[in-house]
């Protein structure tokens, strides 16, 4: 058993770098030991073996390079030891990967630790003594380095310089790109700050202009209010001509900014500036009139956009209330500012081609927008706006800036928002991102071109240097390549010997076959023969196989082939590959493996499956026997009862007939006949005797059908494939298994009446059907339901084959078990209730018939088994059984 390795002083060779690598090897070997000991799965053990192989390979490669530099006299023998170990390791790795067992045997791994410990204490200690002696005599220091050492040092130095150069170049590239990105980002941030300041200043200026206009109008409204109230208190009334002249004068003070109107207490316009109003024009339904009429302290009221009744244009009304001398409501004074006035103010802002300025009323309805938009969502009164503007309005802030990507016109902008100081309006001023970032984006494009050129130049410089280094490295490794080729051939020959493989190399130009060690024994030829002609090498191969091989060898060009060669009772598997390198001679390399034992094992396995299948069929028949007996007993019972009834009835009728006969022969009297007749219930016998006979006949037919089904199931007509009716076999198996399913499930059939016959072995298909029906019954029984389940059996034609489906309403199959249900001896049933052979045998039988079987299931939703069979069994199916 592989022991757990412990590092000890006796394993030290007193060369620090070698000792460190030896300790690392001890560690990975201990990991492999632990994985094997605790019975880890195959994947974990294979991974551990790979780590051992990789660590060992790296160490031996490093050790060989040091020995070559030191000029160790037994260098070749030491390397040979390494190569033998590596070949064994490769074989072990290949065995672990292909092994179907869940874990490897520990004794298969012993040789690694044994070899390592022995190698360190013998071979490694030997070169350690050599190094110590040379260092003590000063020979290493005094001797000049060999040409191999100078090349190795040169390559190592070049590799280090190249790595440093690449790292420096990458660092410079990253720094340049980073600095440029930082500068461009800083420039964009600065540009956005400047634009933000611009739109905020513009919004502030527009706020000031609009608010100043509102304040002037409000001042005039105050004056008109005082003038009206004074006139009413002194004169009682004011002449219209005087009032209109007064309002015209005040309009001129404001340079025609607004039109003034004065109403009475009923909302009828009495006086107006400019064009006189039509008679009886009333605004009593306007919101601003109603507010002033209902509220003595209403003050200045600014309306939302309204369509004026005089002039019919959109405007904003600023209004105040005036009172009678007694303080009662006398009417309102209003000043209407045209919407065009606000539009002119907004158009004065220089916001660029994609800029926008807009004004919204206190209810967020649109008052005006510059530039104007034809979109219905951008008309007076509409309340469609971006989420960012909605958040700014809801925040209650007096001023705020924000960025919008999704706008009504699809233009991305940086916006400034203001809540006007003198009116309940919302002002938004925005500049298009494409406008203010146009120059910055141009700078970015130029920077990208410059950086791309710089990166291309630096990458090209590094590539040229790397190319130069590669050419130097190739020149330095030419001699090493020759040695590696020879070593590879030696390793290949050793690998074939260890793995018990044969090796043949054909030179297609000369027609000479070269044989590897041990190949002669596999071919049954002279063991001293190292090379020869086709006749010499393949003299013992059967003529058919030899002709096939020669045909493949003469027709191959740059591809692979494989075939089997029979030599007496032995069979060899041959893999061939053509070496079509232009600089190498045309070679065909063939690897031979003796697969005689494997074929025998497969034949034995097939025979075992046959025996298991036959045993399973007989076991199934034995299991069904009790149910079949019960199925026969039931009709037998009512046949017996009906015959007894018929016997009694017939006896009474015969007695009556005898008495009638006696009267006819004058040997009896009518009294006796009448007595016999009165004792009989003729109507009853007339109805029941035929029914009893029919029931007895039906019972005998049922018994006959069961017996025939048992006969067909137990003694199939042939053990060789022949045309069979699958629907008929289903009927036979349903009859044989009836006592299994009739108390558990209803069996439903959907059989294709035009189903073609298939070529199959009747007994094996019977066994498949029994396994599927019994399994479906058990799956439904597992639910423990008081009601009957359902089993559906369906057949259908597929043109070149048939499909059989068996679906149940049972417990279903867990997903993790669905992949394993066809494995031999796998079962989900409780111990003693299942052997795990039924579905494995079913799959083997279906495959023997050239078909396929699949399973579908979800836990709790039942399962469905689907079988597809060809109409004719492929010729190779029974040769490749199971």
Tens of pLDDT, residues 761-787: 888 888 889 889 988 988 898 888 888
In the prediction, which pLDDT does 357 show?
92
Token pair listed for 195: 């634009």
Mean pLDDT lowest among 413-417, 629-633, 792-796, 822-826: 629-633
Whether the per-residue pLDDT at 56 is higher than 70: the answer is yes
Q: Which residue has the higher pLDDT, 28 or 665?
A: 28
In the prediction, which pLDDT does 136 show?
63
In the prediction, which pLDDT does 880 show?
46
In the prediction, which pLDDT does 117 show?
83
In the prediction, which pLDDT does 154 show?
46
In the prediction, which pLDDT does 555 show?
67
In the prediction, which pLDDT does 775 show?
87
In the prediction, which pLDDT does 418 show?
92
In the prediction, which pLDDT does 82 show?
85
In the prediction, which pLDDT does 380 show?
86
Tens of pLDDT, residues 583-596: 445 678 888 888 88
Our measurement of the distance from residue 102's CA atom to the centroid of its chain's CA atoms, rounded to an integer in Å, reads: 28
The Cα 718–Cα 720 span in angstroms is 5
In the prediction, which pLDDT does 514 show?
85
Q: What is the mean pLDDT of the chain?
A: 79
Whether the per-residue pLDDT at 617 is higher than 70: the answer is no
Q: Helix (H, G, I), strand (E, B), or coil: what is residue 401? A: strand
Instruction: Give, in degrees to the nearest 5, the angle at Cα 625 between 619 and 627.
Output: 125
The Cα 368–Cα 380 span in angstroms is 6
Share of residues in the chain with pLDDT > 90 (%): 13
Angle separating helix axes 16-37 and 110-119, nearest 10 degrees: 160
The Cα 776–Cα 746 span in angstroms is 11
Burial of residue 500 (CB within 10 Å: 0-12, 13-18, 19+) is: exposed
The Cα 115–Cα 5 span in angstroms is 12
Instruction: Give, in degrees to the nearest 5, the angle at Cα 879 between 875 and 881.
Output: 115
Mean pLDDT lowest among 117-126, 136-145, 407-416, 755-764: 136-145
If you write DSSP's letter for every residue of 623-689 in order, what string do you get? HHHHHHHHHHHHHHHHHHHHHHHHHHHHHHHHHHHHHHHHHHTTSS-HHHHHHHHHH--HHHHHHHH
- Distances in whole angstroms, Cα of residue 204 to Cα of each of 198, 426, 524: 10, 12, 107
The Cα 317–Cα 263 span in angstroms is 14
In the prediction, which pLDDT does 804 show?
95
In the prediction, which pLDDT does 616 show?
62
The Cα 882–Cα 874 span in angstroms is 14
- Distances in whole angstroms, Cα of residue 267 to Cα of each of 270, 440, 839: 9, 59, 98
The Cα 302–Cα 471 span in angstroms is 87
Token pair listed for 722: 């022949």
Whether the per-residue pLDDT at 151 is higher than 50: the answer is no
Cα–Cα nearest to 805, from 862, 721, 743: 862
Share of residues in the chain with pLDDT > 70 (%): 79
Q: Which residue has the higher pLDDT, 486 or 326?
A: 326
The average pLDDT across 725-743 equals 86
Give whichever of 186-195, 623-632, 701-710 has the largest mean pLDDT: 186-195
Distance, first Cα to last Cα, the chain: 37
Q: Which residue has the higher pLDDT, 477 or 455?
A: 455
Cα–Cα nearest to 774, from 808, 741, 796: 741
Whether the per-residue pLDDT at 457 is higher than 50: the answer is yes
Whether the per-residue pLDDT at 1 is higher than 50: the answer is no
The Cα 572–Cα 72 span in angstroms is 44
The Cα 49–Cα 108 span in angstroms is 12
The Cα 828–Cα 814 span in angstroms is 10
Give whichever of 139-143, 746-750, 785-789, 877-881 has the largest mean pLDDT: 746-750
Under 8 Å CB-to-CB from 271, ≥6 apart: which residues? 238, 240, 243, 244, 247, 260, 261, 262
CB 290 within 8 A of CB 313: no
Instruction: Give, in degrees to the nearest 5, the angle at Cα 212 between 210 and 218.
Output: 105
In the prediction, which pLDDT does 436 show?
85
Whether the per-residue pLDDT at 36 is higher than 70: the answer is yes
In the prediction, which pLDDT does 121 show?
82
370 beta partners: 357
β-strands 863-870, 801-808 pairing: antiparallel
In the prediction, which pLDDT does 332 show?
93
Tens of pLDDT, residues 676-693: 677 677 777 777 778 777
Tens of pLDDT, residues 520-544: 888 888 888 888 888 888 888 898 8
Q: How confident is the model at residue 138 (pLDDT cuts 50, 70, 90)?
A: very low
Token pair listed for 347: 């158009």
Token pair listed for 681: 């219930």
Angle separating helix axes 75-98 and 110-119, nearest 10 degrees: 170
Tens of pLDDT, residues 634-651: 677 767 777 877 777 777
Question: Cis bond leading into 70, ω under 30°?
Answer: no
In the prediction, which pLDDT does 281 show?
82
In the prediction, which pLDDT does 826 show?
62
Element holding 517 (H helix, E strand) = none
Token pair listed for 338: 């045209």
Cα–Cα nearest to 68, from 158, 153, 125: 153
746 beta partners: 790
Whether the per-residue pLDDT at 490 is higher than 80: the answer is no
In the prediction, which pLDDT does 2 show?
42
401 beta partners: 416
Whether the per-residue pLDDT at 498 is higher than 60: the answer is no
The Cα 290–Cα 331 span in angstroms is 10
Tens of pLDDT, residues 309-359: 877 889 999 999 999 888 899 999 999 999 888 888 888 888 888 899 999
Token pair listed for 115: 């070899």
Q: Which residue has the higher pLDDT, 755 or 25?
A: 755
In the prediction, which pLDDT does 153 show?
44
Q: How confident is the model at residue 579 (pLDDT cuts 50, 70, 90)?
A: low
**Residue bearing tokens 């192989």:** 53
The Cα 232–Cα 225 span in angstroms is 11
The Cα 524–Cα 696 span in angstroms is 75
Element holding 8 (H helix, E strand) = none
Q: Helix (H, G, I), strand (E, B), or coil: what is residue 737? A: coil
CB 36 within 8 A of CB 106: yes
Q: Helix (H, G, I), strand (E, B), or coil: what is residue 861? A: coil
Whether the per-residue pLDDT at 253 is higher than 60: the answer is yes
Q: Helix (H, G, I), strand (E, B), or coil: what is residue 565? A: strand
Q: Compute the chain's Rg from CA coordinates.
A: 54
CB 330 within 8 A of CB 228: yes
Q: Helix (H, G, I), strand (E, B), or coil: what is residue 440? A: helix
Token pair listed for 426: 């919302």
Tens of pLDDT, residues 272-285: 887 666 667 888 89
Four-CA torsion 345, 350, 355, 356, nearest 10 degrees:
-10
Token pair listed for 208: 């000031």
CB 878 within 8 A of CB 607: no
**Residue bearing tokens 């590239």:** 173
426 beta partners: 360, 419
Q: How confident is the model at residue 494 (pLDDT cuts 50, 70, 90)?
A: low
Maximum pairwise Cα distance, the chain? 162
DSSP H helices, 715-791, are 726-736, 738-741, 762-781
Please state, as a whole number, how many other Cβ atoms lie within 10 Å of the Cβ of residue 281: 16
In the prediction, which pLDDT does 755 show?
93
Whether the per-residue pLDDT at 110 is higher than 70: the answer is no
Could you give the domains of the chain? 9-143 (1.20.120.50), 503-591 (3.30.450.20), 595-715 (no CATH), 717-882 (3.30.565.10)
The average pLDDT across 847-859 equals 88
Give whichever of 323-327, 495-499, 553-557 has the largest mean pLDDT: 323-327
Element holding 879 (H helix, E strand) = none
Token pair listed for 325: 């001398």
């Amino acid at each position: 058993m592989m022991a757990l390795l412990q590092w000890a002083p006796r394993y030290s060779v007193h060369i620090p770098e070698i000792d460190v690598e030896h300790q690392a090897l001890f560690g990975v070997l201990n990991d492999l030991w632990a994985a094997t000991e605790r019975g880890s799965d195959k994947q974990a053990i294979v991974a551990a073996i790979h780590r051992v192989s990789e660590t060992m390979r790296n160490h031996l490669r490093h050790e060989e390079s040091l020995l070559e530099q030191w000029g160790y006299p037994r260098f070749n023998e030491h390397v040979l030891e390494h190569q033998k170990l590596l070949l064994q390791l490769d074989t072990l790795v290949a065995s672990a990967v292909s092994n179907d067992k869940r874990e490897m045997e520990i004794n298969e791994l012993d040789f690694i630790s044994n070899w390592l410990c022995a190698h360190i204490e013998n071979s490694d200690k030997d070169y350690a003594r050599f190094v110590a002696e040379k260092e003590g005599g000063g020979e290493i220091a005094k001797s000049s380095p060999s040409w191999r050492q100078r090349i190795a040092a040169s390559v190592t130095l070049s590799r280090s310089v190249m790595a440093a150069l690449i790292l420096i170049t990458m660092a410079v590239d990253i720094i340049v790109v980073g600095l440029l990105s930082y500068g461009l980002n800083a420039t964009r941030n600065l540009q956005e700050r400047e634009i933000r300041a611009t739109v905020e200043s513009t919004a502030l200026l527009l706020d000031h202009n609009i608010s100043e206009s509102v304040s002037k109008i409000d001042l005039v409204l105050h004056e008109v209010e005082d003038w009206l109230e004074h006139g009413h208190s002194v004169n009682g009334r004011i002449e219209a001509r005087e009032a209109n002249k007064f309002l015209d004068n005040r309009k001129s003070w404001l340079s025609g900014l607004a039109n003034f109107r004065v109403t009475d207490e009923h909302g009828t316009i009495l006086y107006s500036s400019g064009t006189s109003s039509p008679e009886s024009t009333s605004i009593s339904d306007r919101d601003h009139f109603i507010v002033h009429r209902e509220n003595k302290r209403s003050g200045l009221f600014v309306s939302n956009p309204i369509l004026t009744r005089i002039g019919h244009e959109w405007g904003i009304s600023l209004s105040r209330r005036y009172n009678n001398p007694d303080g009662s409501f006398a009417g309102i004074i209003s000043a209407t500012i045209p919407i065009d006035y606000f539009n002119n103010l907004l158009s004065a802002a220089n916001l660029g081609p994609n800029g926008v300025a807009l004004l919204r009323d206190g209810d967020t309805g649109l008052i005006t927008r510059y530039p104007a938009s034809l979109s219905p969502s951008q008309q007076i009164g509409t309340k469609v706006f971006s989420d960012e503007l909605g958040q700014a309005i809801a925040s209650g802030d007096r001023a705020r800036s924000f960025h919008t990507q999704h706008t009504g016109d699809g233009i991305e902008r940086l916006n400034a928002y203001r809540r006007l100081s003198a009116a309940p309006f919302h002002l938004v001023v925005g500049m298009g991102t494409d406008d203010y970032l146009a120059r910055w984006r141009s700078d970015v494009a130029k920077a990208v071109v410059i950086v791309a050129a710089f990166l291309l130049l630096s990458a090209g410089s590094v590539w040229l240097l790397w190319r130069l280094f590669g050419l130097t490295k190739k020149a330095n490794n030419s001699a090493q390549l020759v040695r590696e080729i020879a070593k590879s051939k030696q390793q290949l020959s050793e690998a074939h010997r260890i793995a018990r493989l044969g090796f043949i190399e054909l030179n297609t130009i000369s027609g000479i076959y070269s044989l590897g060690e041990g190949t002669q024994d596999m071919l049954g030829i002279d063991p001293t023969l190292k090379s020869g002609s086709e006749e010499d090498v393949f003299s013992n191969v059967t003529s058919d196989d030899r002709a096939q091989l020669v045909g493949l060898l003469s027709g191959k060009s740059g591809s692979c082939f494989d075939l089997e060669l029979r030599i007496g009772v032995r069979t060899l598997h041959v893999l061939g590959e053509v070496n079509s390198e232009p600089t190498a001679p045309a070679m065909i390399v063939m690897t031979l493996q003796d697969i005689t034992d494997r074929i025998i094992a497969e034949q034995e396995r097939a025979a075992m499956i046959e025996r298991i299948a036959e045993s399973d069929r007989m076991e199934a028949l034995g299991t069904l026997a009790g149910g079949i007996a019960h199925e026969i007993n039931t009709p037998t019972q009512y046949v017996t009862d009906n015959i007894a009834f018929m016997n009694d009835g017939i006896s009474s009728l015969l007695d009556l007939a005898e008495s009638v006969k006696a009267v006819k022969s004058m040997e009896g009297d009518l009294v006796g006949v009448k007595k016999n007749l009165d004792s009989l219930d003729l109507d009853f016998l007339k109805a029941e005797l035929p029914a009893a006979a029919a029931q007895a006949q039906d019972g005998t037919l049922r018994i006959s059908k069961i017996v025939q089904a048992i006969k067909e199931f137990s003694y199939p007509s042939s053990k060789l494939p022949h045309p069979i009716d699958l629907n008929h076999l289903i009927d036979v198996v349903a009859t044989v298994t009836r006592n299994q399913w009739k108390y558990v499930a209803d069996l439903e059939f959907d059989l294709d009446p035009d189903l073609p016959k298939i070529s199959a072995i009747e007994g094996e298909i019977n066994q498949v059907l029994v396994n599927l029906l019994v399994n479906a019954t058990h799956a439904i029984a597992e639910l423990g339901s008081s009601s009957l389940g359902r089993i559906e059996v369906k057949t259908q034609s597929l043109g070149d084959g048939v499909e059989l489906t068996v679906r149940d309403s049972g417990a279903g199959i867990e997903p993790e078990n669905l992949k394993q249900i066809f494995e031999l001896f796998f079962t989900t049933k409780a111990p003693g209730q299942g052997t795990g052979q039924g579905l494995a045998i079913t799959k083997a039988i279906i495959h023997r018939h050239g078909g396929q079987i699949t399973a579908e299931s979800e836990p709790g939703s039942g399962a469905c088994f689907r079988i597809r069979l060809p109409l004719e069994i492929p010729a190779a199916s029974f040769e490749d059984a199971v």
